[in-house]
Structure 1
Amino acid sequence: MARGIMLIAAGLLALAGPAQAQSQVYEPVSLADTDATFVGEAPQAIEATTADGLVLQGAYWPPDEGVDQIVVVFHGNSYNHLVMAVRAEPLRVGGRGVLVASYRGFGDNPGKPSETGLYADAEAWIAKAREVQPDARLYLFGFSLGGAVALEMAARHNVIAVATLGAFTRLKDAAPRVLRPFVTEKYDNLKAIARVDEPILVMHGTKDDVVSPKLADRIEKAGGARVTRVNLTGGKHWVPLETIAPRIWQAWEATEVEAPPE
């Protein structure tokens, strides 16, 4: 009987595993369920159109007059652009511009998320950032799943610098062990970071119980001399940017080099 129960359980897992794995990769929050309250002025609504014709919603704070820095922010797997905008507002420090990107299938955006799709979405947002501020110095910030998007874009584009918070090595490494055989999306940060030429700030909470800090060790090693590692003592998976936004900009500017035109 015990063997029979085990076989039934294995069969149910084989049927439910791929769907469950997919649902844990992408858990978008609808805009109707989002209460966005900002400390200062709310961001502007902004749209970007992908190469395959999807019109995506995002949020944007233009840089203050005389400021030529913009950071494009890529959120995690259970967010939308308004949730991330509330959390990313502290990156406005010093009047910097902040463009909060979002993805297909998240919030009220059309389409179905996938690794290929999220990279296409990110391409559209980088193009939008260059469109609205052609002469701006461009930085990238990615949280969790967004860290994979930010690193891939840094590998493809000339930007000033990139930062990740709570990034994993590969998506499969961050999934529950029982679901790992069913994870088909790669999001391979170890390969991506090796292709990044710009300075990379890798931040990770020392008490992150979603993505082990040990994975950050591997990311740091793969990035080599380009990486500045910051251990956020006592930090969980998300660390409020109110406490670290000035440090992010200081670290970026300390390692800043002139980026060649794209």
Structure 2
Amino acid sequence: MNKVLASLGSIVAVVAIAYLALVVLLFLFQRSLMYHPAAAVPTPADSGVGDMRVVDLHTEDGLTLKAWYAPPRAADGPVVVYFCGNAGHIGYRAFKVRRLLDAGFGALLVGYRGFGGNPGHPTEAGLYADGRAALRFLAGNGLAGDRIALYGESLGSGVAVRMAREQAGVAPVAAVVLETPYTSIADVAAWHYPFAPARWLVRDRFDALSAIGAIRAPLLVFHAKDDGIIPIDLARRLFAAATEPKEARWFDAGGHGGLFEAGAGDLVIDFIRRAATAGQTGRNPPLPR
């Protein structure tokens, strides 16, 4: 009996040590799990947006980042600031921005630190600094908040919400569009790693839920029910916490990266166009259809 208990005790000890080792590895390598930048340096022409030009964004911590910019077709048209997800580089989002440019909008594709040949390493604070650099660039080109729509894709939705909240006290933006958003990365981590105390291990939390109620801008959220990366329940919670005016579209299919093919492009263009028109005429929401 004593031998059996000793054997069980040894097994429990081994399992406990293995579990603790796994938790430690998750903590130490979490940013490698979270950020997947491509090192290749894309060009606008090769990505199908040759009418965009490469511009420099100067961050508050001394980095110079490459981004792509095209002004709106009309002198008073909106400019969409696009904050990407956690993988690849801005060239992978060019097909979406192409639709926005063809609709007459301007666009600024923000190149994050550490992505697409840019210097630095991505962190939550760093990506917020990159977002502020993008808004400073537009301000330097005479574009005020009511001419700007913030677009956040996946991880970038947290950046877009943070920038909208910061702008709300200065010059609220014309619109915020969130593709496959979340409440916080801590919640996403807890969903992916239910066997670990992931919620408490996350360094870069991107807490969009605490900021969404203060953005002071019309909001569009869209997400797919079959998204296996960020569960739609998190997007629904985020949307519920937002104040009016707000609109949502819950797609039956499209996964995490196929919503533009499912019709989200037309949805985004219509929403930004209505929000920009409402802002220019001084009308308050709900946005006219």
Is the 1:38–1:89 Cα contact (8 Å) retained in structure 2? no
Secondary structure of the corresponding residue to residue 36 of structure 2:
coil
Give the Å deviation of 1:189: 0.9
The TM-score with structure 1 as length reference comes to: 0.89
What CA deviation, in whole Å up to 9, does each residue of 1:242-262 have, x standing for no partner?
6322321212333454379xx
Between 1 and 2, higher relative CO (CA 8 Å, sep ≥ 6) is seen in 1
Whole-Å separation in 1 of the counterparts to 2:222 and 2:59: 29
Is the 1:44–1:59 Cα contact (8 Å) retained in structure 2? yes
Matched, 1:75 2:84: yes
Moved over 6 A (4+): 33-36
Is the 2:58–2:65 Cα contact (8 Å) retained in structure 1? yes
Counterpart of 2:250?
A: 231
What CA deviation, in whole Å up to 9, does each residue of 1:104-144 have, x standing for no partner?
12221111221111111100001112223536811110001
Counterpart of 2:274?
A: 254
Range with bigger deviation, 145-154 or 173-182 = 173-182
- The verdict on how the C-alpha distance between 1:82 and 1:24 changes in structure 2, with shifts beyond 3 A counting, is same
Give the partner amino acid of 2:79: I
Secondary structure of the corresponding residue to residue 101 of structure 2:
helix
Counterpart of 1:31?
A: 40
Whole-Å separation in 2 of the counterparts to 1:255 and 1:33: 31
Whole-Å separation in 1 of the counterparts to 2:271 and 2:74: 23
Secondary structure of the corresponding residue to residue 51 of structure 1:
coil
Is the 1:166–1:205 Cα contact (8 Å) retained in structure 2? yes
Give the partner amino acid of 2:186: K
Matched, 1:56 2:69: no
Give the Å deviation of 1:35: 10
Whole-Å separation in 1 of the counterparts to 2:82 and 2:140: 16
Question: Looking at CA atoms only, which structure, 1 or 2, has the larger radius of gyration?
Answer: 2
Whole-Å separation in 1 of the counterparts to 2:49 and 2:92: 15
Give the partner amino acid of 1:159: V
Is the 2:44–2:51 Cα contact (8 Å) retained in structure 1? no
Matched, 1:172 2:221: no
Give 1:123-134 correspondences, 5 Å limit: 123-134=132-143
Percent identity over the alignment is: 29
Match of 1:207 among 194, 218, 226: 226
- State the superposition RMSD in angstroms: 2.4
Range with bigger deviation, 31-40 or 195-204 = 31-40
Give the Å deviation of 1:230: 1.1
5+ residue gaps, structure 1, are: none
Counterpart of 1:219?
A: 238
5+ residue gaps, structure 2, are: 1-9, 283-289
Give the Å deviation of 1:57: 0.8
Range with bigger deviation, 101-110 or 193-202 = 101-110
Give the partner amino acid of 1:155: R
Give the Å deviation of 1:89: 2.1
Secondary structure of the corresponding residue to residue 159 of structure 2:
helix
What CA deviation, in whole Å up to 9, does each residue of 1:44-87 have, x standing for no partner?
11110011110011112222254521100000111322222344
Matched, 1:139 2:162: no
